[in-house]
Amino acid sequence: MKNPVIETERLILRPLTMDDAQTAFDTWASDPEVAKYMRYYAHKNVDTTREWLKSVVANENSDTDYDWGFVLKETGKLIGSGGIYYDDADGMFEIGYNFAKAQWGKGLATEAAGAMLDFGRNTLHQTQFRGRHDIRNTASGNVMKKLGFVYEGECIDHMLEDGAERTVSMYRLSTPGKPENFRLHNGIEIPPVGFGTYKSTLQDGKAPILKALELGYRYLDTASFYKNEEVIGEALAECGIPRKEIFLATKMWPTEMGYTEAKEAFARSCEKLRTDYIDLYLIHWPKLNPQDLQWRQKIRDTWRAMEELYKEGKCRAIGVCNFLPHHLQVILDDCKIVPMVDQLELHVGYLQQYTLDFCRAHNILPQAWSPLGRMYFSEEPCLQKMAKQYGRPVSQLLLRFLNQSGIQIIPKSTHEDRMKDNMDIFGFTINEEDMHFLSVLPQIFFSKEFPDWAERG
C-alpha cells in the first residue's frame, strides 16, 4: 500500500523521495543531538542518508513499513520523518519519529504521531501499537503518555548499524472496549460476562459464589442438575446485595420436561434458591436420549408451561440450552413467545456457525458455555502469539473474541485470579483481521456432548 498524504493542523505528512536526501542530512540525520536518541548513528555524509532513503523508497508498496516526511506548513520545509512499522516479534505496529532539534518542544511530535496512529487505526484497522524510546529521551515518554500509551518497562534494544545495545522504555497502546450489556428481545438487559457455577460448590460450598459476587459478577448461571441451587440460595441470602441487582439463571433437566413437570421443577428451583422469581429459566437439553421419540411433544408442552410462567411474572425471560435449529423449529412452529436465549457450547474452533446464524435470524441471543474450550487451546502456538500481541493471556483473548462476536459468555472457575481475569476482558479490542482468523480456525476441541446423541438418564 502506498503511503497517503496526511494533513494535520501544522504539518503535512507525505512520502519521502530520493530528492529529500540533502535536506534530511542537513536538517536532522547528521545531528548527533538527534541521533543519540535514535536507533541509528549520526550520518557522516549525505551518501549515508541516500542509502537510508533507498530502503524507504523501496518499501513504498510494503504492507509492513509506512514512512513519511514531515513538512511544516508554515515554511514548506521538511523538518523530520517517521512511520509505523510491523514488528513480527511483537505482532503489532510500532510508531517512530525524529525531528530537527530546532523543532523540539513545540508539540509537533505529538501531532505527527497522532496522525500516524489514526492511519494505523482507520486504514490498517489495528487496535494495538508499540512505542519505544531511549531511556534518556523523557520528551518522547511524554508524547507516548499524551497519546494514551501505557509504560510497560525497560528492555535492551540494538542499534541498526552494528547491533550495539541500548536501553529503551517500552510502551503499549490498546484500544479499549466497553462492558456493554446484552439486550434480550423483550428488552431485558443482561451482563456481558456471567459466572458459571457447575461444580463450583463441591469443595468450598458457597465461598466461591460469595467471592464471585464480591468481585463484581452479577449474573449467576446454575441448574437443577448442578445440585447447588440450595447453596447458591444461601449465598444470595448472605451476600448483602439486593436480589434485583443479581441476574439469576437456572435450568430444568430433561427428566423434568413436560407441562406439569416443568412448573413443578420451576417451583423446586425457586424454593432452593430462596427467591420468588427467576430472571432466566431454561430448558437444559432438548431431549433425554436418542431413543426418546416423543421429544418434540415434550418440548411443546414444556414451552407452553414456560410461556405461562413468563406471563405470570415468575420469570423475566425464558430460553433454551443446546438447542440446534431443528430443535428450535419445534418451538417456533408452535410458540407465542420466541426463546430469548440459546446457551450453547461455543468457543474458538467450535462456533456452530449454522446454529448461530439461525439464532440471530430469530433474534435469539447466543450464550457460550465452555467459552474457553476447557483451555484445550492454551498451548496452541498461533493463539499464544496472538495473545502476546495484545498483552493478554490466551484465556482473555478467547473470551474477548466471543464478546466481540455478540455472544454472552459464562466462564467458570473457583480460583480468584482466574475469576478476575475472566471479567477483565474490556481493556483491549481484537482487530478485524484477527477476528476473521479466530472465526475460521478449524475444529480443535469439542466436548462431544452433542444434543441428539447423549444419554441423559
Termini Cα distance of the chain = 60
Cβ–Cβ < 8 Å for 191, 219 = yes
Query: What is the rounded distance in angstroms from the CA atom of residue 4 to the CA atom of residue 121?
Result: 14
Q: Which three cell numbers stand for residue 178?
A: 466497553
User: Which positions are annotated as active-site residues?
Assistant: 226
Q: Which three cell numbers stand for residue 99?
A: 525531528
Torsion 437-442-444-450 (CA) sign: positive
Query: What is the rounded distance in angstroms from the CA atom of residue 59 to the CA atom of residue 84?
Result: 12
Say how many residues make up the chain: 457
Residues in CB range of 88: below 8 A, 6 or more apart: none
Q: Which three cell numbers stand for residue 246?
A: 443479581
DSSP state of 141: H
Q: Within 13 Å, how many C-alpha atoms sit on residue 26's CB side?
A: 7
Residues in CB range of 325: below 8 A, 6 or more apart: 354, 355, 358
Q: What DSSP line would sit under 40-89, residue for residue?
A: SPPPSSHHHHHHHHHHHHHTTT-SSEEEEEEEETTTTEEEEEEEEEEETT
DSSP state of 350: B
Alpha-carbon distances, residue 249 vs 190, 230, 284, 318, 344 (angstroms): 11, 14, 11, 9, 14
Q: Which three cell numbers stand for residue 201?
A: 460448590
Q: Which of 102, 41, 108, 43 is nearest to 71 (CA)?
A: 108
DSSP state of 254: G
Torsion 384-390-394-398 (CA) sign: negative
Cβ–Cβ < 8 Å for 282, 266 = no
Q: Which of 239, 220, 238 is nearest to 229 (CA)?
A: 220
Q: Which of 164, 130, 239, 137 is nearest to 195 (CA)?
A: 239
Torsion 402-405-406-407 (CA) sign: negative
